[in-house]
Structure 1
């Protein structure tokens, strides 16, 4: 197995880069996904809490984005603290595609604060700002990594579809978890859950289709899945995604109907399952960070 060699060869600096990247993925997807979830279900209860979560996640993502800058400079200069603070190396990173990514992501994360504008005619301005923020953050992910190879526009397009679907799912978990445990009329929460399940059915299809297309274009076949570090890490990610899909199916077909019927303990079981989804998502995002930081589809 190649997997142990990937982990064994990782030093503390690389591990820090992986952890920072994974945490950035999670916080930025929570922020952008919260906006998408709010747009898809504008009548949902708990909108104030959702807006606060979007803003908090956006600020965390900004902090992690800034942390990645010296980490990348330090890696470029031999994984030392002196290199991480070297103005020349910081400038090299900023002038590269990483700098473009940082500017796009930072601008988008700041524009997500438009969700706070939610009264009168100004809410349309808030809508425009927050949606623009989502687009910029998702575009930032296409500036670096393996999707910059040819055919670039096809790879970038598939990644954007994939990320938008993932963001919607990730951004929905926290508000759904809260609603299932709050003193909100059960029929209202059940309606949110049912509508989310209907929208998620479409987004999951897009997510899987885009992921298959990306994997095929990057790897060029099935053999690299077994023979390369990138392929084996991708296989682990696929297994985790299958577990996540199984848990989501359990929610849709068993736990949500039980909650809707008002069965005793259904709310607790549903919240535990949503929490399990969240933990699996975090694990998938950190495996993704490991895959994009330490491996390549070409080797």
Structure 2
């Protein structure tokens, strides 16, 4: 059970790293289009650093998850993590392929971020594509039809871009002269509508593939864990709707604007729980 906890933690960090490198790109676009001119240049460097930190964390987490997975199979203590025979044996199996793909993708993204040459932009696109594909190699949907795996990739892309943008937006929401940032949050709200649509549709397809009947939500451990995750997703969507339709349109009202940072903070807490739950029921509960 202890090994499961550590493997789940490493998966959680991989999800967080993926969100950072995806959300950082979305935030860069938002700042380029809508941020106050005085902040664009300095914040662009901050956002590039944000992506690089996420990439570094992703490389570390992907490496750790693979060694922890080996240790969980060996059950021979810390030394069992470094079993060379098992390391090589699993390298071409789904766990090894997923880990190596994510390591390579995070390295490419971290090294290529901020470089202006066209060739690096192409390399970055390939890095992001590899990052998303890595989630289809192993897990509950690894043997699913191609269209389900595409739904999973879109799900990761949408959720990562949305949730990874929250931290930079939270910092922006805590700045003075918040009304000058209104266009940033309005633009994000417009993007969020499309993101949420993709998220919901992809989620429906994946749930349909994972559960044989609606009763599985309460009849199986996996269904109950998934239902718990959906409850936090519902809270996340509720917070997003509150920001878009209530708080952001009234940012000029000094009695309302302070709540923006608080609601985004609640969203980030929900995201942390969602990532932890996803990792936990993937590793510990499993799918029957």
Determine helix, strand or coil for the equivalent of 1:116. coil
Determine helix, strand or coil for the equivalent of 1:146. coil
Shift of 1:36: 3.7
Shift of 1:133: 1.8
CA deviations 1:260-285 (Å, max 9, x no partner) are xx222544311111111111001001
- Residue 12 of structure 2 corresponds to which residue in structure 1? 22
In structure 2, distance between residues paired with 1:280 and 1:79 = 35
Is the aligned partner of 1:196 residue 2:192?
no
Q: Which moved more, 1:231-240 or 1:100-109?
A: 100-109
- Residue 25 of structure 2 corresponds to which residue in structure 1? 35
Alignment of 1:207-218 (within 5 A): 207-218=199-210
In structure 1, distance between residues paired with 2:257 and 2:113 = 29
In structure 2, distance between residues paired with 1:258 and 1:126 = 41
Determine helix, strand or coil for the equivalent of 1:147. coil
Runs of 4+ in 1 over 6 A off after TM superposition: none
Cα pair distance change 1:126/1:258, threshold 3 Å: farther
Work out whether residues 63 and 103 of structure 2, in 8 Å CA contact, stay in contact via their aligned partners in 1. no
Is the aligned partner of 1:103 residue 2:103?
no
Determine helix, strand or coil for the equivalent of 2:254. coil
Aligned with 1:89 (options 86, 91, 97): 86
Is the aligned partner of 1:115 residue 2:113?
yes
Alignment of 1:25-174 (within 5 A): 25-39=15-29, 42-43=32-33, 44=35, 45=40, 46-78=43-75, 80-113=77-110, 114-118=112-116, 122=117, 124-151=118-145, 153-174=146-167
Q: Unaligned regions of 5+ residues in structure 1, if any?
A: 1-10
Work out whether residues 113 and 124 of structure 2, in 8 Å CA contact, stay in contact via their aligned partners in 1. yes
CA deviations 1:123-163 (Å, max 9, x no partner) are x3443233222211111111100111232x12211101111
Alignment of 1:235-250 (within 5 A): 235-250=227-242
In structure 2, distance between residues paired with 1:13 and 1:205 = 36
CA deviations 1:142-199 (Å, max 9, x no partner) are 1100111232x12211101111110110121122112222356733x21111111011
Work out whether residues 228 and 297 of structure 1, in 8 Å CA contact, stay in contact via their aligned partners in 2. no
User: What TM-score results when the alignment is normalised by the length of structure 2?
Assistant: 0.91
Work out whether residues 219 and 297 of structure 1, in 8 Å CA contact, stay in contact via their aligned partners in 2. no
Is the aligned partner of 1:177 residue 2:166?
no
Work out whether residues 225 and 231 of structure 1, in 8 Å CA contact, stay in contact via their aligned partners in 2. yes
Is the aligned partner of 1:269 residue 2:259?
yes
User: What TM-score results when the alignment is normalised by the length of structure 1?
Assistant: 0.88
Shift of 1:215: 0.6
- Residue 233 of structure 1 corresponds to which residue in structure 2? 225
Work out whether residues 32 and 167 of structure 1, in 8 Å CA contact, stay in contact via their aligned partners in 2. yes
